[in-house]
């Protein structure tokens, strides 16, 4: 606690020995920082004099404060269960798909993995299958609160680790969690190299946008059943738009969660938008709410959805590999908002709504 230089009231602190052989270690001994993330805010990797490493995860879900988990990593995890498809993508990016033994939502995986088992989803986990898979670690996430699986996993003696990629507010921060996962499977150096390449490409793309006379304004998401959920100013979606040289048509400040806007205001804002992206379930212009079909973005044929790569089960690769490839997402967005800056090539995640 002293090392971080601030008083941390530990509402919840947990040392989890991911494997035996590390007993008797104290968190205070891990005083050497071996990896301090450049973009991610939610973790750090430390080591002690014996060369053992500790993964410190902070506030891994929305609204968490002063919540810290310390995981002492004794040996590389060989059998991993992932509750989120983005964690599967991170392992795949490190060439470790073969270590994924169980997944929540196998049919949503857009990159099929051999010999992987369905373990159910939070609240309806198939614990029999989970135990039978003998995982070295289960990669968890919490939504608004700790994962409902935590108690049961602890009772069953199955090690778990929170991966907080989804609460990161920058696209590169999300992707940088691949280094934490790299450490977990004994491939940190490779993960650092891979992430370094992604970050360099992202930064280069961001800087490729020349000064603009007018920044295009963008509407995101789909108004549904009378309200429109708008990503906050301090959110990953807004960060992506700004890095792509665009501005959200509206972005609530002072919060990190989405804000619900009623239909009239949504319509008013839609009239100011040059582009409309991430239209959720709307797969064609005809699926948009009727009143929104005559807004400028639609008239100019500037409506795009992140659904180019959807598999038969309905899984979307944007939420899978898109999380580890923010550079590819950014490249798509720049080509949407500023045609001509980047050389012509096929889109990775986005397709135009017809």
Partner 1 sequence: MKWLFAACVVLFAVDMSVGSAAVPLAEVWRAFWGGASEMHAAVVLDIRLLRACTAVLAGASLAVAGLLMQTLFRNPLSGPYVLGISSGASLGVALVLLTGVSWSLGVVGAAWIGAAAVLSVVAALGRRIGDVMVILVLGILFSSGMGALVQILQYLSPEAALKNFVIWTMGSLSDVTAPQMALFAPAIALGLILSVVAAKPLDLLLLGEDYARTSGVRLGRARGVVFGAVTLLAGTVTAFCGPIGFVGLAAPHLGRILFRTASHRRLLPASVGVGVAMMLVCDLASKLLALPVNAISALLGIPIVVWVVVRYKNLSRC
Q: Give the residues lining the site for partner 1 (CB under 8 A).
A: 11-12, 61-64, 120-129, 131-132, 134, 143-146, 148, 151-152, 154-156, 227, 257-258, 260
Q: How far is the CB of 266 from partner 1 (least distance, A)?
A: 15
Cβ proximity to partner 1: between 59 and 331 the closer is: 59
Cβ proximity to partner 1: between 42 and 182 the closer is: 42
Cβ proximity to partner 1: between 263 and 298 the closer is: 263
Cβ proximity to partner 1: between 127 and 267 the closer is: 127
Round to whole Å and give the CA distance between 149 and 317. Answer: 25
Taking Cα atoms as reference points, which of 170, 250, 185 lies closest to residue 53?
A: 185
Cβ proximity to partner 1: between 19 and 97 the closer is: 19
Cβ proximity to partner 1: between 16 and 127 the closer is: 127
Q: How far is the CB of 218 from partner 1 (least distance, A)?
A: 21
Round to whole Å and give the CA distance between 25 and 42. Answer: 23
Q: How far is the CB of 117 from partner 1 (least distance, A)?
A: 9
Q: How far is the CB of 342 from partner 1 (least distance, A)?
A: 32
Angle subtended by helix axes 85-93 and 177-184, to nearest 10: 70
Cβ proximity to partner 1: between 45 and 240 the closer is: 240
Q: Is 289 exposed, middle or buried (0-12, 13-18, 19+ CB in 10 A)?
A: middle
Q: How far is the CB of 347 from partner 1 (least distance, A)?
A: 25
Q: How far is the CB of 154 from partner 1 (least distance, A)?
A: 8
SS3 138: strand
Cβ proximity to partner 1: between 73 and 139 the closer is: 139
Provide CB contacts within 8 A for 239, sequence distance 6+: 169, 170, 171
Q: How far is the CB of 149 from partner 1 (least distance, A)?
A: 8
Q: How far is the CB of 126 from partner 1 (least distance, A)?
A: 5
Range 185-194 contact pairs with CB under 8 angstroms and sequence separation of 24 or more:
185/76, 185/77, 185/78, 185/80, 185/91, 185/94, 185/96, 185/99, 186/75, 186/76, 186/77, 187/76, 187/94, 187/95, 187/96, 188/34, 188/35, 188/45, 190/94, 190/95, 191/94, 192/35, 194/93, 194/94
Range 91-98 contact pairs with CB under 8 angstroms and sequence separation of 24 or more:
91/181, 91/185, 92/321, 92/324, 93/178, 93/194, 93/321, 93/324, 93/325, 94/178, 94/181, 94/182, 94/185, 94/187, 94/190, 94/191, 94/194, 95/187, 95/190, 96/185, 96/187
């Amino acid at each position: 606690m002293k090392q971080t230089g601030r008083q941390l009231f530990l509402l919840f602190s947990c040392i989890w020995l991911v494997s035996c052989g590390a007993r008797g270690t104290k968190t205070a001994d891990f005083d050497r920082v071996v990896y301090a993330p450049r973009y991610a805010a939610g973790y750090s990797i430390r080591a002690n004099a014996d060369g053992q490493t500790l993964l410190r995860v902070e506030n891994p879900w929305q609204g968490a404060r002063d919540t810290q988990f310390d995981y002492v990593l004794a040996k590389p995890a060989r059998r991993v269960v992932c509750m989120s498809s983005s964690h599967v993508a991170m392992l795949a990016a490190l060439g470790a798909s073969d270590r994924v033994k169980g997944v929540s939502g196998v049919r949503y995986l857009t990159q099929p993995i051999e010999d992987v088992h369905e373990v159910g989803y939070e609240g309806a986990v198939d614990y029999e299958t989970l135990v039978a898979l003998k995982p070295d670690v289960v990669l968890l996430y919490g939504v608004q609160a700790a994962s409902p699986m935590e108690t049961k996993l602890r009772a069953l003696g199955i090690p778990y680790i929170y991966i907080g990629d989804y609460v990161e507010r920058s696209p590169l921060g999300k992707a940088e969690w691949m280094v934490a996962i790299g450490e977990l499977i004994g491939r940190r150096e490779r993960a650092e190299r891979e992430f370094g390449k992604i970050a360099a490409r992202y930064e280069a793309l961001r800087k490729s946008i020349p000064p603009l006379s007018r920044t295009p304004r963008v509407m995101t998401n789909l108004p549904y059943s009378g309200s429109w959920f708008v990503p906050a100013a301090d959110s990953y979606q807004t960060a992506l738009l700004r890095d792509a040289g665009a501005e959200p048509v509206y972005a609530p400040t002072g919060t990190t969660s989405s804000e619900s806007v009623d239909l009239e205001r949504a319509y008013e804002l839609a009239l100011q938008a040059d582009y409309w992206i991430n239209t959720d379930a709307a797969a064609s212009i005809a699926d948009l709410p009727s009143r929104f079909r005559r807004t400028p973005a639609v008239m100019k044929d500037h409506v795009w959805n992140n659904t180019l790569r959807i598999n038969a089960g309905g899984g979307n690769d944007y939420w899978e590999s898109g999380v580890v490839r923010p550079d590819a997402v950014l490249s798509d967005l720049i080509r949407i908002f500023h045609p001509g800056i980047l050389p012509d090539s096929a889109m990775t995640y986005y397709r135009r709504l017809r």
